[in-house]
């Protein structure tokens, strides 16, 4: 009995030590492919972000705060995503409301988001989009990392139709923005999978994703897809990039 007790104790210690070794192994310096590295940003940082939560309408003020108060950088893909929303959802019979910029900070996390809303002639929201960048303060490494970016396009479903200009074009633009390989084939597969409205009811149709593998390896991942409501009407388009390196 004693031998088994000692053996179990040693095995437990071994697993504990292995776990500690895995936790301390950093992937921060791992080189990523160009179409992944384009969505990453790291910098030195010696203190937390502080506690903030506010919204401004002035784009210049929002950008100045990011650069001068929080000392982080927005990637070009952030503004490209904003432009995609404005271009593809501003129809002749809708009005674009003033853009809102929100900054939410806790000690180790900073979220910066842009929200763009559209109203129809009846004064009802027809669609809106958000672009969000999330930054993490890595205290042990004295670094700050852009951990993820996401674009989310929401479609009002009351009229049971898509309220953007052209779904195929929007998906192609977003897939191009995400720098996805084999995009043409991915979109063909999506079109085939969503052709039958009955089969797409309540579904999240994934066009592309590899974030599970990226998360497992502590490297990088992307996700791109479309969500449909219980009637098979499109309610959301999303695209995400995630830097899991630590």
Read off the pLDDT of residues 24-58 as tens digits, 9 standing for 90 and up: 488 999 999 999 999 999 999 999 999 999 999 99
Domain ranges within the chain, ordered by starting residue: 28-243
SS3 at position 241? strand
Predicted structure pTM score: 0.89
Residues 72, 66 contacting (CB under 8 angstroms): yes
pLDDT at 23: 55
pLDDT at 21: 46
**Alpha-carbon span 20 to 58, nearest angstrom:** 47
Q: Apex CA 113: angle with CA 221 and CA 27, to 5°?
A: 30
- Residue among 174, 170, 222, 167 nearest 200 (CA): 167
Read off the pLDDT of residues 123-135 as tens digits, 9 standing for 90 and up: 999 999 999 999 9
Residues 45, 144 contacting (CB under 8 angstroms): yes
Alpha helices, DSSP H only, in the chain? 2-24, 34-37, 59-64, 76-89, 167-177, 183-193, 211-217
**Alpha-carbon span 180 to 85, nearest angstrom:** 19
| Residues paired with 149 in a beta bridge | 133, 241
Chain centroid offset of residue 225 CA? 12
Q: Is the pLDDT of residue 9 over 80?
A: no
Tokens linked to 6? 């000692």
């Amino acid at each position: 009995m004693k031998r088994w007790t000692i053996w179990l104790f040693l095995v437990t210690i071994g697993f504990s030590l292995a776990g500690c070794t895995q936790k301390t192994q950093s992937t921060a310096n791992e080189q990523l492919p160009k179409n992944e590295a384009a969505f990453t940003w790291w910098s030195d940082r010696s203190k937390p972000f502080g506690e903030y939560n506010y919204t401004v309408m002035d784009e210049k003020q929002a950008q100045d705060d990011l650069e001068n108060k929080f000392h982080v950088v927005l990637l070009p893909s952030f503004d490209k995503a904003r432009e995609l929303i404005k271009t593809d959802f501003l129809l002749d019979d809708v009005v674009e409301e003033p853009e809102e910029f929100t900054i939410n900070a806790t000690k180790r996390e900073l979220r910066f988001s842009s929200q763009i809303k559209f109203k129809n002639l009846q004064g009802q929201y027809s669609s809106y989009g958000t672009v969000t960048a999330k930054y993490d303060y890595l205290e042990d490494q004295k670094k700050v990392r852009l951990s993820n970016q996401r674009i989310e396009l929401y479609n009002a479903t009351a009229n049971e139709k898509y309220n953007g200009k052209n779904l195929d074009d929007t998906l192609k633009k977003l897939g191009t923005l995400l720098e996805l390989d084999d995009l043409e084939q991915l979109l063909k597969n999506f079109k085939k999978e969503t052709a039958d409205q009955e089969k797409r009811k309540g579904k999240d149709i994934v066009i592309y994703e590899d974030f599970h593998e990226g998360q497992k390896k502590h490297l990088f991942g992307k996700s791109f897809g479309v969500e449909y409501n219980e009637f098979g009407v499109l309610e959301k388009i999303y695209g995400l990039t995630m830097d899991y390196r630590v």
